[in-house]
Amino acid sequence: MRLARLLAFMIGMAVAAAHADAADVSYPPGSRIGLAPPSGMVTSKNFFGFEDPTTSAAIALVSLPAEAFAALEGSMNAGTLKRQGLTLEKRDALSLATGKAFLIVGQQEIDNVKVRKWVLVGASPGMTALVTVQVPETARPLYPDPAVRAALETLAIRSSVPVDEQLGLLPFKVDELAGFRVEGVIPGRAVVLTDVSSVPPAQPAQLFINVAPGGPGQTAERDAFARDVFATIPNVREVRITTAEPLRILGHPGHQIVAQGKDASGALALTLVQWLRFGGGAYLQIIGVSRTETWLDAYPRFRAVRDGIEPR
């Protein structure tokens, strides 16, 4: 009986520890990769990962395609790493909750500073996680090998990033999605929205929303500026502008271009709209692209998204 109670207690402690580890996992905003960072590190505001600003110790998280794991597993050897300036000390195969992984540990000199470096490559069905840890030699007492390894072994990958979290990475608010889903975000700059109801799925309606510094200082210069910016839109051919005119967008000076064109293959007829909104030393660019046959449905939804965008 005493042995049974002891076993039950040990199992309970193991389960509690597992829950505690899961609760400690932190995901930097916008990242599908997370882990429980060592004590002393906080979420970085400069990159996807964690850092200790006082010591320059850092953990960087990078998402790669699923097929990258096999390529990295075969290529990250002592010779290759040596050519990159990293002296390999050991390489271990790991089995993590996310799947197969391997860990590389070594020394490197970066800008005349000697650093301890760990590189963890973890496989999962949908992606490969690349985690790089750099700790200056002077900070190694704060981040010893066992602590770093323990943190790396908590690697976790979530299936998706919540929409609100993705949109929170932008310098503007998107209050209305109008049936579009977030396809991708460039933190601090841009978002791509894709129609979730497109039938057939070929060339669904899309919106690209981007903020950039600068813009014309004079009203008379805005038409030429808008046309120049519009001309950089990729993957559209045989473009013919049908209207180009100034307008106000939510009380801000702006400009609208509507055009006809074809997709990159030349098979699909497209209709495009570009809105520019000026002010505050920057301009907001909104590009909507739809198959011409679905334009009458897409255009009011493009406008609904446009009118729900505000600076933070």
Q: Average pLDDT of 228-253?
A: 95
State which fold the 163-311 domain adopts: Protein Transport Mog1p; Chain A (3.40.1000)
Write down the pLDDT at residue 13: 37
For residue 16, name the pLDDT band (cuts at 50, 70, 90). very low
- For the cut 60, the answer to whether the pLDDT of residue 115 exceeds it is yes
Q: Average pLDDT of 238-258?
A: 95
Write down the pLDDT at residue 311: 86
Write down the pLDDT at residue 14: 38
Q: How high does pLDDT run on average in the chain?
A: 90
The burial class, CB within 10 Å (0-12 / 13-18 / 19+), for 74 is exposed
Q: What percent of the chain has pLDDT over 70?
A: 91
| Model confidence pLDDT, tens digit, residues 26-83 | 999 999 999 999 999 999 988 999 999 999 999 999 999 999 999 999 999 999 999 9
Residues constituting the chain: 312
Compute the radius of gyration of the chain from its Cα atoms.
Answer: 25
Closest CA to 194 of 184, 29, 186, 80: 184
Ranges of each domain in the chain: 25-157, 163-311
Task: Name the CATH superfamily, with its identifier, for domain 25-157.
Answer: Mog1/PsbP, alpha/beta/alpha sandwich (3.40.1000.10)
Write down the pLDDT at residue 50: 97
Q: Which of 6-20, 85-99, 232-246, 291-305 has the lowest mean pLDDT?
A: 6-20
Report whether 257 contacts 271 (CB < 8 A): no
Q: Which sign does the torsion angle of CA 243, 248, 253, 254 carry?
A: negative
| Model confidence pLDDT, tens digit, residues 147-205 | 999 999 999 999 999 999 999 999 999 999 999 999 989 888 999 999 987 665 667 99
